[in-house]
């Protein structure tokens, strides 16, 4: 089952513009994470935001979390060609903090930065 649904499925912008990707989920979560995947590679962790946090920043990345709407957004500012990749949100749907963290991934957003 897909807990997280990313929107849009594909996004193409010009270099220097900002890119915004959204993620919606269905159940309560412990945390939400964003990962990047370059073509033919494994996933690389970008940001983790816990359920009691509303916003986090990391360099050119800004993530927001709205637990009342069960949604998150990833903003990449001043995009570069190297940002071209697929971006996945992953939720940890543990209601009680116990046991193994089992992330549930969305289908991803394919981001293309045009030079």
**Footprint of other proteins (CB under 8 A):** 1-2, 4, 30-31, 33, 35, 40-45, 48, 50, 88, 90, 92, 97, 99-108
Nearer to other proteins, 52 or 68 (CB): 52
For residue 106, the minimal CB distance to other proteins (Å) is 5
For residues 92 and 83, give the distance between their C-alpha atoms in angstroms, rounded to a whole number: 25
Cβ 89 vs Cβ 105: under 8 Å: yes
For residue 67, the minimal CB distance to other proteins (Å) is 14
CB atoms within 10 A of CB 81: 10
């Amino acid at each position: 089952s897909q807990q997280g649904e990313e929107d849009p499925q594909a996004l193409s912008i010009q270099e220097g513009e900002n890119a915004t990707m959204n993620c919606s989920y269905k159940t309560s979560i412990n945390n939400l994470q964003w990962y990047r995947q370059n073509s033919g590679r494994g996933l690389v962790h970008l940001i983790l935001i816990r359920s009691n946090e509303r916003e986090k920043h990391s360099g050119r990345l800004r993530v927001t979390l709205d637990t009342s709407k069960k949604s998150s957004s990833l903003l990449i500012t001043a995009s570069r060609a190297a940002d071209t990749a697929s971006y996945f949100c992953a939720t940890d749907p543990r209601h009680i903090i116990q046991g193994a963290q089992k992330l549930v991934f969305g289908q991803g957003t394919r981001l293309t930065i045009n030079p």
